[in-house]
Structure 1
């Protein structure tokens, strides 16, 4: 789920450039084909599964070849500028295909759709439908409008929509791991982030629907679920019948109790909200993975303040100390932004010293990219020269490579319970899967084991990003 020490280009390819090329066997005769491509965060990929479900129920099947599709959707991300540029370039490719298939409908979904709204329809001239993250139920109606010769847009945000009643179609699935969206939107107004504007206010999904989805997945053979939210720690839901209040710690426990053979992960935590209660729940249940993604963004309290992160350096270090105390073997990953507005060289060094303090297992690392409409774009000058941003970003990446390798070396010589996810990319004679700390483990096939099985692997050595071992 998280890569170690990757470059900016590799990150885009791995996290933003992977296409969801869907192939679903519909039980009924269908006359129209759908193609979806997704970019960005796990939430976008999860949203595409909701979209596929809605469209399947309305007479569509999916295709791997966009040139053969009647409807092409691109589910977009607005987090970084080059993510948006990739989408624009891809739309040009779809537009070229449309010239030989005039009946093709092209739609932009997700965060970029909400942020740019009708600009796609009026200026780009490449798009027929623009739909924001809270309007996917309206897709069949919008497609009908296009069929009637109009262009269509719905980017209205909602305070209630959670899609809790929609059973996602598992796209590009290995049949072993799956995402469960537990909440939508975000109430944190980090000054660099567009999410509150593109995904709306925070709302939590009915706990019963979450548990039903987890049970159904396990019944279908899935062995691992990842609970998704922009800030899972702020999950809160009240049962109107019983009056019971369910916070994230309680939800995490309830999902773990679905079955001890169902692994549970979650993403993402916010340093201001993660509680000792959550940490003790993780420590209590063996099937809740010892892995926490805890974005720091900067090691400087002043920079954190103008980022509006609502915690300072000492608070973050206290949360890390709590994790180490309560869950000694817990892996920690993070996000780091280099070259944020007004960041001094001394403050950059504070970020490096924070990395030395934590020694993260994994990290997503970015040079700051100003996003229009954010608080930072309105208040603070993007005044760090690009060459300085790149140099600081490189220093962060180089240090993280060292720390990722160090953390893997600590796991060599130990036994790990690994969920087999499939064949190694390099050899069909090797399996791969992740251990409790989310490290990728590669090992030779043995016995009658197959994907979906748990095996105990002795890690014999490691590369800079992978543990290598054998089943014992």
Structure 2
């Protein structure tokens, strides 16, 4: 596999020239920018880069689209519902555009990388002035400059699977930060559009990742989540004799008091070597999100997942043996084309056996352009919904049991925000990423505290600072 290509210094310098050029155009206007992100954490990280470029141009960020001079939607194409929401939000801006024609409305992300959506935007959404795909993100300054100077619509979904290092970034304030370690996906699960819109896997060099981690720690972030469509594949394309387990050990050695999380892991590439690294590294949170999607080997084969229910069980056993207190979560798709009652029963059996702390459950949503969209699907939507509700009932019973087991425990928590209730006014997370509402004296957002769990519910633990 060829090593990933990095955008050259000359190419990046040209974009900084356009940043300065845009700043010159808008200097006297003091414009405001509004951004909204749909979908995954990688989209959130991409938006932070766009916000960083906008900030360098001189835009002030706002949370009110009505007062913005530049509005951007970073979109998701994983599920139809996400696309519908994005189109709905864009459509609602038509009145704003008529009232204020000078407003620039932009759309980027995975939806923008699909030709069918590009044509739909061109024909039916004239209020959109700028559209660019995932591969063109680093060229955003030059694209915006064209919109401002040429006074016409600009559409760009071209580009290669390159990595751009050194882009400005404007992160959300708080205790948590995203850190992308790789981009794209090589897995081509039959239900998933991601490889078609984000390209093939390419890994960032470890020294660049470590440099960014050190910057985050210096800026005061306490929880850093490493991002990739399949972090377990990290390094395969670099030719540097480093894998994800090795990267974890390298980042764990960075000085500071912080937690490292990561997502998402693919079971076909998870290994004892990874679990050894997690167990050995004190800063790597003992939390694992390992999607299994279905407990049926036949459905897994049709999904092109490249593992079996039996091999998945072995992975979980190994992880729990090495980290007895590990928190486990997973993804499940209910109603994949051809799923029988027996297939679904095997999924329920795996859930009951593993006893996850958290599940993200989805009804199958066909995505145009993926193989599964053409699969025969005889099961009715009503039956799929009944199965979905059965799964939720089983999982709720498991979660209630696992949450109740925390009663009276003393845990280290990271305070990360404010809660709605007056009795427990702060939110926090356990090392296993469980939500906690906490009370006590002298609590500050962004600090680690010791607390005792006073009560539990299905969705939240409640604690008092010690």
Q: Normalising to structure 2: TM-score of the pair? A: 0.90
Deviations 1:256-294 (A, max 9, x none): 211251111111100000111111111112221110000
Residue of 253, 278, 286 corresponding to 1:290: 286
Q: In the alignment, does 2:332 pair up with 1:330?
A: no
Equivalent position of 2:390 in the other structure: 395
Map 1:406-417 to 2 at 5 A: 406-417=401-412
Map 1:149-160 to 2 at 5 A: 149-160=151-162
Is the 2:203–2:237 Cα contact (8 Å) retained in structure 1?
A: no
Q: Within 1, Cα distance between the matches of 2:60 and 2:454?
A: 46
Residue of 401, 404, 415 corresponding to 2:399: 404
Is the 2:131–2:156 Cα contact (8 Å) retained in structure 1?
A: yes
Is the 1:186–1:202 Cα contact (8 Å) retained in structure 2?
A: yes
Q: Within 2, Cα distance between the matches of 1:431 and 1:104?
A: 38
* Structure 2 residue matching 1:57: 3-state secondary structure: helix
Quote how far apart the aligned CAs of 1:461 are. Answer: 2.1
Q: In the alignment, does 2:428 pair up with 1:433?
A: yes
Segment drifting more, 461-470 vs 125-134:
125-134
Equivalent position of 2:266 in the other structure: 270
Aligned pair count reads 437
Equivalent position of 2:346 in the other structure: 350
Quote how far apart the aligned CAs of 1:429 are. Answer: 5.5
The 1:29–1:411 alpha-carbon spacing in structure 2 relative to 1, beyond 3 Å, is farther
Q: In the alignment, does 2:437 pair up with 1:442?
A: yes
Quote how far apart the aligned CAs of 1:460 are. Answer: 2.5
* Structure 2 residue matching 1:411: 3-state secondary structure: coil
Is the 1:226–1:266 Cα contact (8 Å) retained in structure 2?
A: yes
Q: Within 2, Cα distance between the matches of 1:346 and 1:260?
A: 50
Residue of 445, 452, 457 corresponding to 1:458: 452
For structure 1, the residue ranges without an aligned partner over 5 or more in a row are 1-27
Is the 1:418–1:435 Cα contact (8 Å) retained in structure 2?
A: yes
Q: In the alignment, does 2:189 pair up with 1:190?
A: yes
Map 1:205-220 to 2 at 5 A: 205-220=204-219
Q: Within 1, Cα distance between the matches of 2:122 and 2:58?
A: 26
Map 1:9-408 to 2 at 5 A: 31-115=30-114, 116-147=117-148, 148-161=150-163, 163-171=164-172, 173-174=173-174, 176-236=175-235, 244-378=240-374, 380-408=375-403
Q: Within 2, Cα distance between the matches of 1:91 and 1:265?
A: 34
Is the 1:207–1:237 Cα contact (8 Å) retained in structure 2?
A: no
* Structure 1 residue matching 2:106: 3-state secondary structure: strand
The 1:244–1:307 alpha-carbon spacing in structure 2 relative to 1, beyond 3 Å, is closer
Segment drifting more, 413-422 vs 301-310:
413-422
Q: Within 1, Cα distance between the matches of 2:247 and 2:423?
A: 38
Segment drifting more, 226-235 vs 79-88:
79-88
* Structure 1 residue matching 2:152: 3-state secondary structure: coil
Q: Within 1, Cα distance between the matches of 2:414 and 2:66?
A: 37
* Structure 1 residue matching 2:317: 3-state secondary structure: helix
Quote how far apart the aligned CAs of 1:430 are. Answer: 2.6
Q: In the alignment, does 2:460 pair up with 1:469?
A: no
How well do the aligned residues superpose, as a CA RMSD in angstroms?
A: 1.7
For structure 2, the residue ranges without an aligned partner over 5 or more in a row are 1-26
* Structure 1 residue matching 2:195: 3-state secondary structure: helix
Q: Normalising to structure 1: TM-score of the pair? A: 0.89
Equivalent position of 1:18 in the other structure: none
The 1:254–1:167 alpha-carbon spacing in structure 2 relative to 1, beyond 3 Å, is farther
Is the 1:417–1:435 Cα contact (8 Å) retained in structure 2?
A: yes
Is the 1:164–1:206 Cα contact (8 Å) retained in structure 2?
A: no
Deviations 1:122-156 (A, max 9, x none): 33334221111121122222223333232111112
